[in-house]
Amino acid sequence: MIPPTGERKSGTGHVSVRPLGEADLDRADEIFRVAFGTFLGFPEPKTFFGTADYVRTRWAADPHAAFAATVEGEVAGSNFAANWGSVGYFGPLTVRPDLWDQGIGRRLMEPVMDCFDTWENRHLGLFTFSHSPKHLELYRRYGFWPRFLTAIMKKQVAGSAAVPRRVLYGQLPATEQPGALSLCRTLTGAVYEGLSLEREIVATHAQGLGDTILLQGAGSELDGLAVCHCGAGSEAGEDVCFVKFGAVRPGPDAADRFERLLTACEQLAAERGLGQLDAGMSLGRPDAYRRMVDHGFRTWLQGVTMHRPNEPGYSHPDAYVIDDWR
């Protein structure tokens, strides 16, 4: 999620970009909150996002893909890249508000684009606010094009019946987890060739951020998966279960599998004692969006995903995928 720049300031000192270090995390987190809170007009920007944590979680997932911009030696912004196999995305890219429109965002794009080159991702993406012409133009310079409005949705958890053949990755014996990851790669690869959520699944488990739902099919394959963050200290925040990514196996019964996955996500939220379920949905997948609405989800924020190249990637109408690239 990338906030627009604000008014132009003058007098920026020497800008450099380097890896984001552990000692930088508190300051980077503060800038992240203030940048979003300032743009959205939050009365106390430093408290924006509450107990949700995007900076520390993404740094811990891959410190080599986290970058800091400094001005005269002081942290002025940060950016993060994520490697999902054939797909890469980045964010949050944030800059200290008093330094907006000074080219710092462009400097923070450079190492991220280098990551994508190294990883050889075929399809790249980001989420930003659709009413921010400056950012649409900034990312267009790097080959990104706005394609789909994306709804950030939520629903109150009402509890749900147990979903048959639902397994949690974190509850599997360690000896069975590599096999589960292989099944996940097969499922996501069927959605889009080379798409892999292995790093997200492992990072979510290793950091204790939540769990990954695995829906077993009739045979040995998976019917669906959902990487979920749960509660304070994760990307969800207090009393929230956030579906960072979800997908079901394509085919004639994909819609039914998607309904089952939504119910399984709500079951996990209820088991964890969480009152709200959050998820993002590309409006380029209209049937999946309609089924989320029918399930009780409502949009509270809307943005746009930008893609490189200017193609839908896995955001095609027949895909039943939950994601928003925040």
DSSP state for residue 195 in the 8-state scheme: B
CA atoms within 13 A on the CB side of 315: 29
Q: What is the mean pLDDT of residues 130-158?
A: 94
Mean pLDDT for 167-174 is: 98
Cβ distance 247 to 311 under 8 Å? no
Q: For 100-121, what is each residue's pLDDT tens digit?
A: 999 999 999 999 999 999 999 9
Q: pLDDT tens digits, residue range 13-42?
A: 789 999 999 999 999 999 999 999 998 889
Section 121-147 average pLDDT: 94
Q: What's the rounded Cα separation, in Å, for the pair 164 and 312? A: 33
What would the mean pLDDT of 245-272 be, rounded to a whole number?
Answer: 97
In the structure, what pLDDT confidence band is assigned to residue 132 with cuts at 50, 70 and 90?
A: confident
| Choice among 45-49, 156-160, 205-209, 321-325 with the minimum mean pLDDT | 156-160
Q: Which pLDDT does position 44 carry in this prediction?
A: 94
| Least trusted range by pLDDT, from 127-136, 169-178, 191-200, 314-323 | 127-136
Residues above pLDDT 90, as percent of the chain:
90
Q: What is the DSSP letter of 277?
A: E
| Residue 81 CA, distance from chain mean position | 11
Q: Is the dihedral of CA 287, 159, 198, 306 positive or negative?
A: positive
**pLDDT (0 to 100) of residue 10:** 42
pLDDT tens, residue by residue, 55-69: 999 999 999 999 999
Find, among 76, 69, 139, 98, the residue nearest to 8 by Cα.
Answer: 98
Looking at residue 2, its pLDDT comes to: 66
Average pLDDT value for the chain: 95
Q: What per-residue confidence (pLDDT) applies to 6?
A: 42
* pLDDT above 60: residue 5: no
- pLDDT tens per residue, range 173-210: 999 999 999 999 999 999 999 999 999 999 999 999 99
Percent of the chain with pLDDT over 70: 96
Q: pLDDT per residue over 260-315, tens digit each? A: 999 999 999 999 999 999 999 999 999 999 999 999 999 999 999 999 999 999 99
Q: Can you give the pLDDT at residue 151?
A: 97
**Distance between the two ends of the chain, CA-based, in angstroms?**
4
Measure the CA–CA gap between 124 and 114, rounded to whole angstroms: 12
pLDDT of residue 134: 87
